[in-house]
Amino acid sequence: MSPSKSAVRVWTWALLFLVIFSTTITNMAMSEVGFREAAKKKYMSEKVRKMFYHAYDNYMTHAFPHDELKPLTKTFTDSLSELGNLKLEHLPQHYNGSALTLIESLSSLVVLGNYTEFERAVWWLSDNLTFDVDARISLFECNIRVLGGLVSAHILATDSTSRFIQGTYKNQLLNLAEDLGQRFLWAFDTPTGLPYAWINLKYGVMENETTETSTSGCGSLILEMGALSRLTGDSKYEAVALRALRKLWSMRSSLDLLGTTLDVVKGEWIEYSSGIGAGVDSFYEYLIKAHILFGREEFWDMFHSAYLAVQKYFRHGPWYHEADMRTGKATYWQLTSLQAFWPGLQILVGDIAAANSSHREFFHVWERFGVLPERYLLDREMLHPTEKYYPLRPELAESTLYLYQATKDPWYMEVGESIVNSLNTYTKVEGGFASVKDVTTMQLEDHQHSFFLAETCKYLYLLFDDSFLAGKNYIFTTEGHPLPVRNSWHERLPEAYTPTNWSYVKSENQAKRASAMSLQVCPDTLTGGRNDGYWVESACHVRDARADHMCQTDEECGIDSTTCRKRTCSMAGYCGLWLFIA
């Protein structure tokens, strides 16, 4: 053996040793990180679990079977008839509540794995809940909270993999949901098919009832009514919701924009300005979620046009302002707390970069005030003079969950931790969790909204413990109630469709790029024709006229996918965003 050969061998061994050694060290470090992350998740999910039970047990002690808890005075409010009723008109005389917070808690109890309490609640509702009450309620609110809560709980109760006692349950929740759905039908009896915003649960539409409603009021019924039809085999619920949605969509402007309020009898717009927040938000949400749940191409077509119009006319960097549906001109430059759901929706379409940047801005506002103020004037950089409250809303936590699931970036868990800490610091009182009346003083209000249990606690819990989602593919209604994606409800999923992990990702790279939803259900056009899932094209992207990006005029250039700005033709003859070249 020549000296040089043995030297090579020594070096080879040394190198090999180094590689093995460093890999071991890296693995040890990795498992150390993994261990700390797992411990953190366990600690945080316990913390959120405690929050839920603090809210729930106080409700059960001081308010049940009334609708919601007043945590400061430890009493109750029969608020179902007050939801959306800003001027508190036509309040009922003899209404003792519908156990609203219990209905809203059903799916959260399952997410937390408390089947005993879930069962107890189901039996109580089966025996005692009635909708034959003389109360005027908001169709929208009652649909997302009560119908959605019942339908979702029925599905969870009959899920063959859950530990709910089989055989003894005789579809009581579904029967209640159907009874409610029947009452909803009264609202749709209009010349346009657009539903009234208000009905009396016992007597139907009241004499001289207002004909004004909102875009979300007509456009976010399809998930709950559709699910009710699929479960009962009676198509009429889905049919009326679909008819209303189609009518609403037919009222869009030539820019594919909608207004915020409209008249259900005349079929005309009342408020032409709209954005992605209050009065409109869940309309967009339900188009994409209806497509994911039912697979119908029509929903995708509506969503895609509507989404492009939002990115084109409302978006300003990471912010969204309002615009006039007729001209596309900006009207109000305001951030509203409800808009914080938008990044979550963008995850469903795979538009992760845009979701990430908006979410970060919302979180900065949260950090600045401690919670998210209801309305902030972007142009004047100040809080809205009267809407300074934070009613325990879930939207930021919701988006944080979606972003974490899509990217697995641990930073989002830090966001969640910060949200949990704020809620415990500012809103927890002995009798539950109280809404913040004024974010500048952190003065509290005597109200614990049912969505705190249905959504805020649920999304935060799922951020740290997503075992509920394993092996399932759920979409969440706008009130946080899970509905499973099933091939029997879906037009395009194969017979043998079995859901994978909700957050299932094939590789690290892909994890940063695509959401589970966009991989599983959304049309392939989203991935720009590539099916390796590595590169998901933004929905605001419009291609340049030429593949080599050469141009003679601005018209030949498309729209940039991350900034959503129109590209311009540079002096060198290339499409770009660099104004100084052009």
Ligand X SMILES: *[C@@H]1O[C@H](CO)[C@@H](O)[C@H](O)[C@H]1NC(C)=O
Pick the catalytic residue: 285, 374, 445, 455?
A: 374
- Kindly state the smallest distance separating residue 415's Cβ from ligand X, in Å: 11
Nearest CA-CA partner of 562 in 358, 408, 338: 358
**81 belongs to the binding site for ligand X (CB under 6 A):** no
Among 326, 512, 541, 565, binds ligand X (CB under 6 A): 512
| Phi, psi at 446, each rounded to 5° | -85, 60
Contact 90, 136 (CB under 8 A): yes
| Phi, psi at 460, each rounded to 5° | -65, -40
- Kindly state the smallest distance separating residue 205's Cβ from ligand X, in Å: 12
Q: How far apart are CA 308 and CA 232, in angstroms?
A: 35
Q: Which stretch binds ligand X (CB under 6 A): 7-15, 120-128, 426-434, 479-487?
A: 120-128
Among 160, 208, 254, 441, binds ligand X (CB under 6 A): 208
Among 28, 33, 470, 572, binds ligand X (CB under 6 A): 470
**504 belongs to the binding site for ligand X (CB under 6 A):** yes
Respond yes or no: is residue 395 known to be catalytic: yes
Q: How far apart are CA 160 and CA 151, in angstroms?
A: 16
| 281 alpha carbon, distance to own chain's centre | 10
Size of residue set near ligand X by CB under 6 A: 24
User: Residue 269 has which token pair?
Assistant: 């717009």
Rounded to 5°, angle at Cα 396 from 393 and 398: 90
Contact 387, 375 (CB under 8 A): yes
Nearer CB in complex with ligand X: 87/94: 94
Q: Which stretch binds ligand X (CB under 6 A): 53-61, 187-195, 228-236, 388-396?
A: 53-61
Pick the catalytic residue: 82, 104, 238, 281?
A: 281
**56 belongs to the binding site for ligand X (CB under 6 A):** yes
Q: Which stretch binds ligand X (CB under 6 A): 109-117, 148-156, 310-318, 460-468?
A: 109-117
Q: Alpha carbon of 341 to those of 5, 121, 307, 373, 436: distances in Å?
A: 65, 29, 14, 14, 20
Nearer CB in complex with ligand X: 289/513: 513
Nearer CB in complex with ligand X: 270/353: 353
Q: How many CB atoms lie within 10 A of CB 218?
A: 28
Alpha-helical regions (H) of 470-525: 508-513, 516-520
**75 belongs to the binding site for ligand X (CB under 6 A):** no
**473 belongs to the binding site for ligand X (CB under 6 A):** no
Cis bond leading into 484, ω under 30°?
no
Q: Which stretch binds ligand X (CB under 6 A): 49-57, 75-83, 297-305, 487-495?
A: 49-57
**417 belongs to the binding site for ligand X (CB under 6 A):** no
Q: How many CB atoms lie within 10 A of CB 86?
A: 6
- Kindly state the smallest distance separating residue 207's Cβ from ligand X, in Å: 4
Nearer CB in complex with ligand X: 1/88: 88
User: Residue 337 has which token pair?
Assistant: 């707390």
Nearer CB in complex with ligand X: 280/521: 521
User: 102 forms bridges with which residues in the sheet?
Assistant: none
Give the per-residue contact string, 266-305, with ligand X (x = CB under 6 A; - = no).
----------------------------------------
Q: Which stretch binds ligand X (CB under 6 A): 36-44, 51-59, 288-296, 514-522?
A: 51-59
User: Residue 178 has which token pair?
Assistant: 């159907």
Nearest CA-CA partner of 451 in 97, 101, 34, 42: 101
**117 belongs to the binding site for ligand X (CB under 6 A):** yes
Nearer CB in complex with ligand X: 300/402: 402
Pick the catalytic residue: 68, 285, 395, 446?
A: 395
Respond yes or no: is residue 374 known to be catalytic: yes
Respond yes or no: is residue 281 known to be catalytic: yes
- Kindly state the smallest distance separating residue 124's Cβ from ligand X, in Å: 4
Among 72, 124, 305, 489, binds ligand X (CB under 6 A): 124
Nearer CB in complex with ligand X: 239/353: 353
Nearest CA-CA partner of 377 in 322, 423, 329, 326: 322
- Kindly state the smallest distance separating residue 396's Cβ from ligand X, in Å: 15
Pick the catalytic residue: 78, 104, 141, 455?
A: 141
Q: Alpha carbon of 434 to those of 58, 154, 333, 438: distances in Å?
A: 12, 30, 29, 12
**11 belongs to the binding site for ligand X (CB under 6 A):** no
Q: How far apart are CA 435 and CA 393, in angstroms?
A: 9
Nearer CB in complex with ligand X: 512/566: 512
Q: How far apart are CA 120 and CA 169, in angstroms?
A: 12
User: Residue 261 has which token pair?
Assistant: 């309020």
**353 belongs to the binding site for ligand X (CB under 6 A):** yes
Nearer CB in complex with ligand X: 127/524: 127
**518 belongs to the binding site for ligand X (CB under 6 A):** no
Among 40, 41, 47, 53, binds ligand X (CB under 6 A): 53
End-to-end C-alpha distance for the chain, whole angstroms: 68
**57 belongs to the binding site for ligand X (CB under 6 A):** yes
- Kindly state the smallest distance separating residue 380's Cβ from ligand X, in Å: 26
Respond yes or no: is residue 179 known to be catalytic: no
Nearest CA-CA partner of 92 in 81, 77, 101, 83: 81
Q: Alpha carbon of 368 to those of 365, 373, 383, 435: distances in Å?
A: 5, 10, 12, 18
Q: How far apart are CA 163 and CA 275, in angstroms?
A: 43
| Consecutive H or E run containing 202 | none
- Kindly state the smallest distance separating residue 200's Cβ from ligand X, in Å: 12
Among 263, 271, 409, 417, binds ligand X (CB under 6 A): 409
Contact 136, 198 (CB under 8 A): yes
In a 10 Å sphere around its CB, with 0-12 CB exposed, 13-18 middle and 19+ buried, how is residue 568 labelled?
A: middle
**96 belongs to the binding site for ligand X (CB under 6 A):** yes
Active-site positions read: 141, 281, 374, 395
Residues that bind ligand X (CB under 6 A): 53, 56-57, 94, 96, 114, 116-117, 123-124, 127-128, 207-208, 352-353, 356, 407, 409, 470-471, 501, 504, 512
